[in-house]
Structure 1
Amino acid sequence: MSDTVMPKPTRAMAEQRRNLAPEAEAAFQAFSQAVFKEGALSRKTKQLIAVAVAHVTQCPYCIQGHVKGATNERASPEEIMEAIWVAAEMRAGGAYAHSCVALGTLNDLKASK
């Protein structure tokens, strides 16, 4: 990953972000801790979901962080890759499903001639 496009996060950046909006930062941190704690879903499952979502949202920082998080929760490389493939299928499935919008438009255009 190029530092010119996506700078490497630093402690100084984290402090700057916190200092610029301390209440929002604290709220986000509390929210994140609440979301990823053990619950009806295991911490491992939540991290695998996060890996998949990070690939759909295409956030390199989230990909790195949640792959590390999933690994820390004992997810195997195979489980992580499978989660990524689920994300890829869902993203492709969205394009496939939305083709109905294009087909509907084409049908409307044909009917209006």
Structure 2
Amino acid sequence: MENQQLFPEPSRELSEKRNSLVPEVSDAFRAFSRAVFKQGALDEKTKQLIAVAVAHVTQCPYCIRSHTKLAARKGATEQEIMEAVWVAAEMRSGGAIAHSNLALDEFEKSKV
């Protein structure tokens, strides 16, 4: 199955439909997003690099594409993008290692 079939290309039509179905929530989300990514204690490039990493953990293809593009526009390099992705990979696999405690604990309880 091609990615196009699994993940349709974003379009103005889909966006307008989504926004028209619950416009007050859509408007609030866009305002929230603008506030989150605005220059603050963290610069905009750093915030976009964080978003690239998180998008890889949440595995959102739309977010990966859009935040990578925005990070590049804010001055991120290809190497910075990849370092952010590697941080995401470490965090995702680290979660599996940390949660192994649950499996080991449950195994011990099941021996009773």
TM-score normalised by length of structure 2: 0.97
Unpaired runs of 5+ residues, structure 2, are none
Q: Residues 27-62 of structure 1: CA distance to partner in whole angstroms, max 9, x if unpaired?
A: 000000000000000100000000000000000000
Aligned to 1:33: 34
Unpaired runs of 5+ residues, structure 1, are none
- Larger mean CA deviation between 96-105 and 1-10 belongs to 1-10
2:109 counterpart of 1:108: yes
SS in 1 for 2:9: coil
1:81-100 map, 5 Å: 81-100=82-101
Root mean square deviation, CA, Å: 0.8
* CA–CA separation in structure 1 for the residues paired with 2:20 and 2:98: 44
4+ residue stretches of structure 1 with deviation over 4 A?
none
Query: Equivalent pairs: percent with the same residue?
Result: 59
* CA–CA separation in structure 1 for the residues paired with 2:101 and 2:19: 44
Residues paired across the two proteins, number: 111
Aligned to 1:67: 68
1:9-24 map, 5 Å: 9-24=10-25
2:9 counterpart of 1:8: yes
The alpha carbon displacement at 1:106 in A equals 1.1
TM-score normalised by length of structure 1: 0.96
* CA–CA separation in structure 2 for the residues paired with 1:65 and 1:102: 37
Aligned to 2:46: 45
* CA–CA separation in structure 2 for the residues paired with 1:44 and 1:17: 28
Give the letter aligned to residue 17 of structure 1.
R
Aligned to 2:57: 56
* CA–CA separation in structure 2 for the residues paired with 1:19 and 1:90: 36
SS in 1 for 2:4: coil
Give the letter aligned to residue 82 of structure 1.
E
